[in-house]
Amino acid sequence: MAERELRYDTTFADFQFLQGYMARRVAARNRGPHLRALMWIVLCAFFLAMAIVLNVNPYRAITLSGGAVPYPISFYLILIVLLVGAILALLPAVKLRMKTLRMQVSDNGPLLGPTHLIVEPDALIVDRAQMSARYAWSAFQGVEVAKNAVILPIDNGIGVIIPAGAFASDAERYDFAAMIAKRIETQRAAASDTKRV
């Protein structure tokens, strides 16, 4: 018998709090790159504001170009330069956003490393050195194959991935996906039969 048991209802607000907390934790550990990205975003906003001001009063293009380039062309050239500057100023922030996932998961953490996948009649077990997870078939929304990996979505942004390297051939990959899809459908049919009774 268990010494202690907890029963609770996890709400969307709890998950939202966790997501915000973890994002703040990552930002605190990487304050320098985030501040630099913020500076580039402010520069992007400046370029966009200048483009808006120029668009409101297009004849300013003549004064900005020093009269070397005639009016319509000078307006378009300066507008293009400002918009290209705005796009280039966003690139460091985009690169940081792409690195954010790497900041959240480390190579020596429990989510990466050698994995043992076990298919049981009622569940899928993902076993790693530091953790093991058991997923009932009813937890999965279906089976998808993307970039030769089999993905089992659990929710909109969460799922289980079986990478391409786990399979020796395309035939083995698609056989596995079909077998998993059949298990999920069987579980759904059993659940709907239970609801009818």
Structural Rg of the chain based on CA atoms: 27
Closest CA relative to residue 88, chosen from 44, 36, 38: 44
* Confidence at residue 69, expressed as pLDDT on a 0 to 100 scale: 67
CA–CA dist 92, 105 (Å, integer): 21
Mean pLDDT for all residues in the chain: 82
Q: Which percentage of the chain shows pLDDT scores above 90?
A: 21
- In the three-class reduction of DSSP (H, G, I as helix; E, B as strand; rest coil), residue 59 is classed as coil
- Cα dihedral 158, 163, 169, 174, rounded to 10, equals 0
* Confidence at residue 55, expressed as pLDDT on a 0 to 100 scale: 83
Whether the predicted model's global pTM rises above the 0.85 cut: no
pLDDT in tens, 85-135: 999 999 998 888 777 766 667 777 777 788 888 889 888 988 888 889 999
Angle at 30 between CA 28 and CA 35, to 5 degrees: 95
Asked if 142 contacts 184 with a C-beta cutoff of 8 angstroms, the reply is: yes
User: Is a pLDDT exceeding 60 seen at residue 6?
Assistant: no
Average pLDDT over residues 47-75: 76
- In the three-class reduction of DSSP (H, G, I as helix; E, B as strand; rest coil), residue 168 is classed as coil
CA–CA dist 124, 112 (Å, integer): 17
Place of tokens 């915000």: 20
- The encoded tokens of residue 160 equal 């289980």
Q: Which residues of 141-172 are buried (b: 16+ CB within 10 A; e: fewer)?
A: eebeeeeeebbbbeeeeeebbbeeeebeeeee
- In the three-class reduction of DSSP (H, G, I as helix; E, B as strand; rest coil), residue 101 is classed as helix
